[in-house]
Amino acid sequence: MNKLLVALISGIIFGLGLSLSQMVDPNKVLGFLDIAGDWNPSLAFVMAGALAVAMPGFYWIKKRQRPIFEDGFHLSHKKQIDKPLVLGAIIFGIGWGLSGYCPGPAVAGIGFGNGEALVMVLAIYAGFFAERFIAKK
């Protein structure tokens, strides 16, 4: 129960952050990605703000033996820079540039009643299933 409450509160704060920062607005995202046009660097400040808080936060949390409600941390221990990492990130960036949405803003956009965001979420799931299908082969 406690863990679910934390998940809910954490989700709400994340949604508020995406809204206040206007990451949920695909026009703003495309304005940020359009360096050759009327470039709007606002969204660089979203990442700066997130890292200004998360970087010292993570450093401090990782000094603990374990999280408060779990026996261990579920962090990725992968180290290798491999082809799926680079190729996948490039494909993700193309999709981000075509649509103006990354996964968080697509989900949060549903809360704004934005129909495009719902299409985006469904298409992301189609991509998830397609990748799993390809990976099995």
Partner 1 sequence: MENFTPVSAFLGGCLIGLSAILLLLYNGRTAGISGIMNGIFLSPGHEQRWRLTFLIGLILGAVIFQQIVPDFIQFRSDYPLALVAIGGFLVGVGTRLSSGCTSGHGICGIANLSRRSIIATLCFMASGFITVFIIKHVLYLI
Contact assessment for residue 29 and residue 44, using Cβ atoms and an 8 Å cutoff: no
- Cα 43 to Cα 131: distance, rounded to the nearest angstrom: 29
The nearest distance, CB 60 to partner 1, in angstroms, is 9
Residue 136 touching partner 1 (CB under 8 A) = no
Tokens 């970087």 found at: 55
Q: Per the structure block, which two tokens stand in for 14?
A: 């994340």
With respect to partner 1, which residue has the nearer C-beta, 129 or 137? 129
Residues 56-115 that bind partner 1 (CB under 8 A): 57-58, 61-62, 64, 66-70, 72-76, 78-81, 84-104, 106-112, 114
With respect to partner 1, which residue has the nearer C-beta, 35 or 137? 35
Site string for partner 1, 35-54 (x = CB under 8 A): xxxxxxxxxxxxxxxxxxxx
The nearest distance, CB 137 to partner 1, in angstroms, is 14
Q: What is the phi-psi region of residue 56: left when phi exceeds 0, alpha when psi lies from -120 to 50, beta otherwise?
A: alpha
Q: Which of 25, 51, 48 has its CA nearest to residue 120?
A: 25
Cα-to-chain-centroid distance, residue 60: 22
The nearest distance, CB 136 to partner 1, in angstroms, is 12
Total binding residues for partner 1 by CB under 8 A? 116
